[in-house]
Chains A and B, each alone.
Chain A
Amino acid sequence: MSREYETVIGLEVHVELATKTKIFCGCSTAFGGAPNAHTCPVCAGMPGSLPVLNKQVVEYAMAVGLAANCSITRHCKFDRKNYFYPDNPQNYQISQLYLPICRDGSVEIETSAGKKAVRIHEIHMEEDAGKLIHDERGDCSLVDYNRSGVPLIEIVSEPDMRSAEEVIAYLEKLRMMIQYLGASDCKLNEGSMRADVNLSVREVGVEAFGTRTEMKNLNSFKAIARAIENEKNRQIDLLEEGKKVIQETRRWDDLKEYSYAMRSKEDAQDYRYFPEPDLVPLVISEEWVEEIKSRQPEFQPEKMERYKREYGLPEYDAQIITGSKHLADLFEAAAALCKKPKKVSNWLMGETIRLLKEQDMEPEDIRFAPANLAKLIELTEAGSINGTVAKEVFEKIFEEDIDPAVYVEKQGLKTVNDAGELRNAILQVMKDNPKSVEDYRNGKEKAIGFLVGQTMKAMKGKANPGMVNKILKELL
């Protein structure tokens, strides 16, 4: 490659809001349920039905906008975006084009290259589409409107990112912020957070932007990174061959690591936006903005500082735990119950993170109750179970959210503190391993470790290791 290129990336991020009901009707947004069980005349596009705006959607959108340093549009409206597709029951989507609720924000990201601000062009509210299932046998598509009308915000960034690393840092920042607000769980794999990547390349030093493409269907950070790399190279190859990049929407196939253009002559991409006549304008007062501001939660930076100060956690631990709202909530709740914040932190930083990695899970996927972790800590602190058993019980908590006290009792995992019982076990071990006993008595102090281990094994791990040590020394 003779020339050097720079990649220019902007993101359109769709986030499904965590409201109980849809944006324009009283249908539940709950997952599951038979196809079309959560539908009504409004979200199924019946003739004569009319939308009414869910107030919580506006409040979530404002909260996200304020967190992203946006200005709130005091007088905003909804518009109709017209296009035909079966997942869209009205064949128009109610969205915001002319007066989006939030504008001109920015979020700070941090990468290996340092800190950087990514500007937010706008955030607007809109409705989600239904789900299409492709029925191979019937050679048709099946339409389920359960997701139709679920509220979304679309966060549109400026083309401020230059690498996949920055894109991922930006998405992680947005996700953390929105999770802290409780406005969404932001799961890429479940579609509650979806990122479309607008990407162009230009020669280094050139100011004008190149022609961009929009990449859709990116369901994980890994897919995003791969798609960015692939699209960057595709565009550079085109330019190097003297060809032009065509402005188009492309769909990423992560299995084939390949994207293709989603073009059709029946798809004119002329959305004929106009103000939605069925909804009245939104006028957002200063008081309302202040009220939302006053309800903003403690975000990650403040929470991290507080953990260091209040609980004495090391910087690194505080950062990891506050990096996920769910993990932070878990920490605080468990710490409040057992009053041992450092122990809680240890369990989260150690075993929890190990198990998450092992099972390729996100902290948001943790399902155990803080009370069960707190109880486990109390059991270990009281010496009722030893460390080995505790790890085993924790895995059970992690998998099935069991009550550790009940589990320990049922499985008979309580530490044996009965000196008589331990003595009998040790005598048997000494009898079975005369060589080790001999070695110890001849000054090989290390041999005691082997004997302790054998005793623990014989006691099925339930022995109190301190007592085993003490009794062994006496007998030897």
Chain B
Amino acid sequence: MGELEKKQGKHIISDETIEYVGILAKLELSLEEKEHAKKDMEEMLDYIDKLNELDTAGTEPMSHVFPVNNVFREDVVTNGNDRENMLKNAPEVKDGSYQAPKTVE
């Protein structure tokens, strides 16, 4: 994806960007939805730019809020065969497997 475009300090989201994000997110938007999405994203990014007012140099990114470490399970089998229960919600099942559209050409 290219450099983010801006006009008078405001974000401009291109058709290509919306198309690209749609591919990443696996969402197919109608033309109207795309226009909405562009506007929404431009507004949100302008707003998020507020974070740039903050000097965060020297601050470590905090992904986990508490210093809890090393949570493990022991290597012991605890689950039995529960395939019926696992498969019961599948839109399509065949031979005890989830059926998906073919993945090879």
Q: Please give the residue numbers on chain A whose beta carbons come within 8 Å of chain B beta carbons, in ascending order.
A: 19-21, 25-28, 33-41, 44, 46, 52-58, 77, 82, 84-87, 132-135, 138-145, 265-266, 268, 270, 272, 274-275, 277, 279-283
Contacts of B77 in A (CB 8 A): 20-21, 26-28
Chain B 63-101 against A: per-residue CB contact (8 Å), 1 yes, 0 no? Answer: 110001111111111110111001100000011111111
Contacts of A35 in B (CB 8 A): 83, 95-97
Q: A28 contacts B100, CB within 8 Å?
A: no
Q: A38 contacts B81, CB within 8 Å?
A: yes
Q: How far is the CA of A53 from the CA of B20 in the complex (A)?
A: 34
B48 interface residue (CB < 8 Å to A) = no
Report the count of interface residues on B (CB-CB < 8 A).
35
Closest chain-B Cβ to A279's Cβ sits at a distance in Å of: 8
Given contacts A138-B99, A270-B24, A28 and B74 within 8 Å (CB-CB) = no
Contact partner of B73 (CB less than 8 A), chosen from A55, A134, A272, A274, is: A55
Q: B23 contacts A268, CB within 8 Å?
A: yes
Q: B69 contacts A283, CB within 8 Å?
A: yes
Q: B86 contacts A44, CB within 8 Å?
A: yes
Contact partner of B72 (CB less than 8 A), chosen from A54, A139, A266, A270, is: A54
B104 interface residue (CB < 8 Å to A) = yes
Contacts of B23 in A (CB 8 A): 265-266, 268
Q: How far is the CA of A36 from the CA of B77 in the complex (A)?
A: 16
- Extra inter-chain contacts (16) besides given A86-B103, A134-B104, CB under 8 Å: A21-B76, A21-B77, A26-B78, A36-B83, A38-B79, A54-B73, A56-B74, A87-B103, A132-B103, A133-B97, A265-B23, A268-B24, A270-B1, A274-B63, A275-B64, A280-B64
B26 interface residue (CB < 8 Å to A) = yes
Contacts of A86 in B (CB 8 A): 98, 100, 103
Q: A280 contacts B69, CB within 8 Å?
A: yes
Given contacts A21-B77, A40-B86, A77-B63, A139 and B68 within 8 Å (CB-CB) = no
Q: How far is the CA of A103 from the CA of B83 in the complex (A)?
A: 39
Contacts of B103 in A (CB 8 A): 85-87, 132, 134, 141
Closest chain-A Cβ to B22's Cβ sits at a distance in Å of: 10
Q: How far is the CA of A235 from the CA of B86 in the complex (A)?
A: 47
Contact partner of B101 (CB less than 8 A), chosen from A54, A140, A280, is: A140
Q: A143 contacts B100, CB within 8 Å?
A: yes
Given contacts A21-B76, A26-B76, A39-B82, A141 and B101 within 8 Å (CB-CB) = yes
Q: Which B-chain residue is minimally distant from A25 (CB atoms)?
A: B79
Q: Which B-chain residue is minimally distant from A285 (CB atoms)?
A: B70
Q: B96 contacts A36, CB within 8 Å?
A: yes
